[in-house]
Structure 1
């Protein structure tokens, strides 16, 4: 089960749309998703302020930038699973 982070902040309507995509795709046990509010970290604000929502896989550093849909999110998850199966990252 991959750990994912959704870079977000309060009042972000695009982030709400991204959460809807995640909820439509993920089933219980598929992944653990942490919502990361970038407003509380200057480095995250600098990196993501104009890009949120962004889904990030901390183990590999791979990111999926908005806009994305269910098909693109599934492909992102499959890419993570393939990389994990090949031992491409730890």
Structure 2
């Protein structure tokens, strides 16, 4: 089970950019979760997506973020 989740939406250009940033940051493994598939997630994230979350700790990194910010965020475990 991966510890990182990218909350996103279908047809979201910012989400596409976030995926590119995660690739640039060489994030080893993460799950993608689409918020529109769940009323609870829709209520929680609404227009905040994309959001990178560590499901073990509950920490979240809201957009906008770049590769450097992702690497620093991941190092703060």
Q: Which bin holds the TM-score, normalised by the shorter protein? A: over 0.9
**Mapped pair 1:49 → 2:40:** no
Q: 1:1-90, aligned counterparts within 5 Å? A: 3-26=3-26, 31-80=28-77
Structure 1 residue matching 2:61: 3-state secondary structure? strand
Task: Give the unaligned 5+ runs of structure 1.
Answer: 81-90
Task: Give the unaligned 5+ runs of structure 2.
Answer: none
Larger radius of gyration: 1
Deviating above 3 A after TM superposition, structure 1's stretches of 4 or more consecutive aligned residues are none
Q: CA deviation at 1:14?
A: 0.2
Q: CA deviation at 1:31?
A: 3.4
